[in-house]
Structure 1
Amino acid sequence: MAKPKDPKSGSPSGRGVASAEEGRAWAKKRGIEEIECVLPDQAGVARGKIMPAAKFFAKPQLALPSSIFCQTISGEYPDSDDKWQADPADGDLMLEPDWSTLAVVPWASDPTAQLIHDAFHGDGRPVEVAPRQVLRRVTELYAHHGWTPVVAPEIEFYLVKPNADPDYPLEPPIGRSGRPEIGRQSYSIQAVNEFDALFERIYDYSEAQGLEIDTLIHEEGAAQMEINLRHGEPLQLADQVFMFKRTIREAALQHQIYATFMAKPIAREPGSAMHIHQSVLDTETGKNIFSDEKGRPTAEFFSFIAGQQKYLPAVMCMLAPYVNSYRRLTRDSTAPINTRWGYDNRTTGLRIPPSDSDARRVENRVPSSDANPYLAVAASLACGYLGMMEGLPATEPTEGSAHGLDFELPRGLLEAVAAFEDCEPLIEVLGEAFVATYAAIKRTEFETYMRVISPWEREYLLLNV
């Protein structure tokens, strides 16, 4: 398989421009006929409009209904209550393009570009519940102290056979050998080679969009893969994860395969995570504040860890957003069940990878791959920020396995939502409107789930109770 290509090495495609005029020239040079005006919603789903390029660059006023940020994953809406009030008129939100995200849509049949937008109220205020704005709100808190957070996500996913009937379990796809995987194939090059053609397409699509893949590996599960991204500014990296998910799904469909980011898609296989590596730089000097001049860990480093230990349970509904997400977080799996931390310890929720002092960082291993990347990064950074603001002390590092220790994370979605709504420091950081809206969405999704009768219930209750 070919090595990942660097989109900065002179590719005629690339990603991002500085202004509308540059965007017009960029589109003309590539013969772009259509523009996808994309808005990430609370689930990380791409919503928006598609229009002819000529009409788009004539600068029409783009708008979407305010309910776009209140929609559940099943397309429903929460009922209004005292904590959360939707706009009864469902008025319009104004969309403004972020020109730094302009990129081609390499799988489109006609020359097409995509452009992520931000949402604003009619009076010009940013929409406070929009996921990109929630992440900006958190990074602005860091900026107020002269800090720049840096993140590097790792995204796991499964390749599966096409499955049109949700009553049937998912199965691994057929590779070039003509056989599906059986058994565990962690880090197997041969298992990756089974899908060489697909990964070549992913690399080509990524290069066309200016997306930077660091590494690709085969994970523990059957046809479970992981793609690591290079570190960078949080909003840019969240944008990349958002676009990568779409890219991988589209590339897989070209090969008659599904790519899924469900946290636990196959019962007896490991779950899929979105690990987030985090460090913080002094904005003025560019130095990592987690290390002092002699390369030793600082008080900020340990307080960042402590903040994650204290507050990660309260943001679990952002890191594990669906009922399925909690099937991954079990004692008999490789996923963490607590907020312990350790040096190079993959059984803890928080791992400190081996590195030199300049690259000292904290890996949050709790989030699942089904999480909205904007909200997962925002939640994780918010916890670390609160730890530093409160000067919290971290526990002693865990040595050996943490899997046999007590659960410290919520076991289900409703428990997670209750902890989320009750945490005043996080409400202040993330915003009251967002917390109320997001909690209402999650409760509604749980009620939708409760309307479904599972095979387990039919298997064990039908004739026994």
Structure 2
Amino acid sequence: MTSRPKIKREKPKRGSSDGSAASSQQQSSVKRDIGRFRLSEEPRPTFLDSTRGVQSMAEAAQWLAIRGIDDLECITPDLAGVARGKMMPAKKFTGNTSLALPSALFMHTISGEYPEETGEFRYSPNDGDLKLVPDLSTLSLVPWESDPTAQIICDLVDTTGAAVGYTPRNVLKRVLALYENRGWQPIVAPEIEFYLVSKNVDPDYPLTPPTGRSGRQIQSGQAYSIGGVNEFDELIDDIYHFSEAQGLEIDTLIHEDGAAQLEINLRHGNPIELADQVFMFKRTIREAALKHGIYATFMAKPIQGQPGSAMHIHQSVIDQRSGQNIFSEADGTPSKLFYNFIGGMQRYVPAALIMMAPYVNSYRRLTYGMSAPTNNAWGYDNRTTAFRVPTSDASGRRVENRLPSSDANPYLALAASLACGYLGMAEGLEPDQPTDKTVNEDGVISLPRGLLEAVAAFEAEPAFHDVFSRDFVGTYAGIKRGEFETFMQVISPWEREFLLLSV
């Protein structure tokens, strides 16, 4: 997949005085331990030098010990993409301790409330435990912690050992299994936009851009500006350092058009691995920003009058046997499956939009006259369409889904986008004609306009009960209805301004 030129940063890493004490201490511990292998003339196992992932619990024990890790965060994304889990001593983790979380933890709203049972949304009658199963390939450091700490992402199973169908990582794995059964392997590359904003402890006040190293508040209109990026030079260095320590790979970083709006592009790869990386990157970027006294936000529309933040998803599919891109024929022309994939996106994405635009705020981004698409059109290198086909050679032919917002759970956004393309290929759906016109500024919006409309479209699509599971569709829809009811309890400044003395 093509990408923008990488911005390289060659500055030396700072020591403990900049908050990277834990990372430096852990690296020093590794270096000191090298002598043990030299004295014994034993070859040093390569996994000990890995920044991310091991293959067995025995390797995990050595990996943790050589870094002097005392605490381990066992985390898993909830339906909002928030890290939930437990912290425990590293020795207890490698002692095969069983970890569990209550099932209701995955059935509350973003505000922490438990909605009423509606439709097919039901709570477990006994709020039973769900077991955390660590994915050892995700083991990595937590470089912003002051004490040596590691983290690991976990899957969730029930008491019988069966995967819990409504948890995000399992939803994505279910979709990927559909591809695998056909001999296909999806390849994705997410692009995540976010804003840096001044600290805001009172939600009644609007968010404002932060002050950069120039001492001035950041303004908009700095798309691709290197000077705009350099306003936050030290913060971005920390993002790179924290990412390197966790084995996360940034492809490019740019300044977007909004005031202090940045975008990070990740290298293309396996959807589960890339969803894990987005999940970890969000934590990393927030922590780096807090260290510098500001916030990083992934809200879809955090500042009135400024562009929204997207999570664009580049997608291609390869044949597992040949390794060839199935979107291209042998002579380099687009394949029938390529068009079918786009046809599936056009047919099903509007009904799956709730998984890509999950909050009331998400739909403030999808309005005409702004940079976000408001349609389900497609075109070649046309950024005003929902589905853009970037210029590439035959091996890199792909479809970019420009609808997801950066507030989306990456596991669910990827699952939704890939499922829609899969259904198009499985059903042989044909797209309409590509457009080379500007299609996001004509006032026409061919997508759900708000949260409840998106939920209704999601529940009404029978194909989703198979690809995502009926359990997930019912649970997710019930939670989103609950979030809308919570939102409706809040009186907005618009209502006070225009209704208070006029009606």
TM bracket, shorter-chain basis: over 0.9
Name the CA distance, whole Å, in 2 between partners of 1:159 and 1:308.
32
**TM superposition shift of 1:55:** 1.5
- Give 2:502's aligned residue: 464
- Give 1:289's aligned residue: 326
Note if contact 2:119-2:474 (Cα within 8 Å) is conserved in structure 1. Answer: no
* Paired residue secondary structure (2:88): strand
Total equivalences in the alignment:
462
**TM superposition shift of 1:71:** 1.5
Note if contact 1:338-1:348 (Cα within 8 Å) is conserved in structure 2. Answer: yes
**TM superposition shift of 1:4:** 8.2
Give ranges in structure 1 of 5+ residues lacking alignment: none
Q: 1:313 aligns with which of 326, 350, 356?
A: 350
Please say which structure displays the higher CA radius of gyration. Answer: 2
Q: Aligned pair 1:183/2:183, yes or no? A: no
Name the CA distance, whole Å, in 2 between partners of 1:120 and 1:197.
41
- Give 2:91's aligned residue: 54
Q: 2:452 aligns with which of 395, 414, 417?
A: 414
Per-residue CA deviations over 1:64-112 (Å, capped at 9, x if unaligned) read 0011211210001122245122112111111110000000000011000
Per-residue CA deviations over 1:402-456 (Å, capped at 9, x if unaligned) read 1135311111000000000000012211100000000000000000000000000
Q: 1:239 aligns with which of 256, 260, 276?
A: 276
- Give 2:248's aligned residue: 211
* Paired residue secondary structure (2:496): helix
**TM superposition shift of 1:400:** 1.9
**TM superposition shift of 1:11:** 10
Q: 2:462 aligns with which of 408, 412, 424?
A: 424
- Give 1:126's aligned residue: 163
After superposition, the CA RMSD in angstroms is 1.4
- Give 1:441's aligned residue: 479
For 2:250, the aligned partner's letter is I
- Give 2:36's aligned residue: none
Q: 1:360 aligns with which of 376, 392, 397?
A: 397
- Give 2:28's aligned residue: none
Note if contact 2:370-2:441 (Cα within 8 Å) is conserved in structure 1. Answer: no
Q: 2:9 aligns with which of 3, 7, 10?
A: 3
Q: Aligned pair 1:329/2:335, yes or no? A: no
- Give 1:74's aligned residue: 111
Percent of matched pairs sharing the same residue: 63
Note if contact 2:47-2:54 (Cα within 8 Å) is conserved in structure 1. Answer: no
Per-residue CA deviations over 1:181-235 (Å, capped at 9, x if unaligned) read 2231110000100000000000000000000000000001000000000000000
For 1:184, the aligned partner's letter is G
Name the CA distance, whole Å, in 2 between partners of 1:228 and 1:364.
14
Per-residue CA deviations over 1:268-324 (Å, capped at 9, x if unaligned) read 100000000000000011000000000000000001001000111101110000000
Q: Aligned pair 1:20/2:54, yes or no? A: no
Per-residue CA deviations over 1:332-388 (Å, capped at 9, x if unaligned) read 200000010000000000000010000000000000000000000000000000000
Q: Aligned pair 1:172/2:209, yes or no? A: yes
Per-residue CA deviations over 1:241-261 (Å, capped at 9, x if unaligned) read 000000000000000010000
Give ranges in structure 2 of 5+ residues lacking alignment: 1-6, 12-45
Per-residue CA deviations over 1:22-76 (Å, capped at 9, x if unaligned) read 1111101111000000011000000000011111112211000011211210001
Note if contact 2:9-2:237 (Cα within 8 Å) is conserved in structure 1. Answer: no
Superposition TM-score, scaled by structure 1 size: 0.98
Name the CA distance, whole Å, in 2 between partners of 1:10 and 1:119.
26
For 1:16, the aligned partner's letter is G
- Give 1:95's aligned residue: 132
Note if contact 1:4-1:203 (Cα within 8 Å) is conserved in structure 2. Answer: no
Aligned structure 1 segments of 4 or more residues deviating by more than 2 angstroms? 1-5, 9-13
Per-residue CA deviations over 1:167-194 (Å, capped at 9, x if unaligned) read 0001111110000122311100001000
- Give 2:292's aligned residue: 255
Note if contact 1:214-1:227 (Cα within 8 Å) is conserved in structure 2. Answer: yes
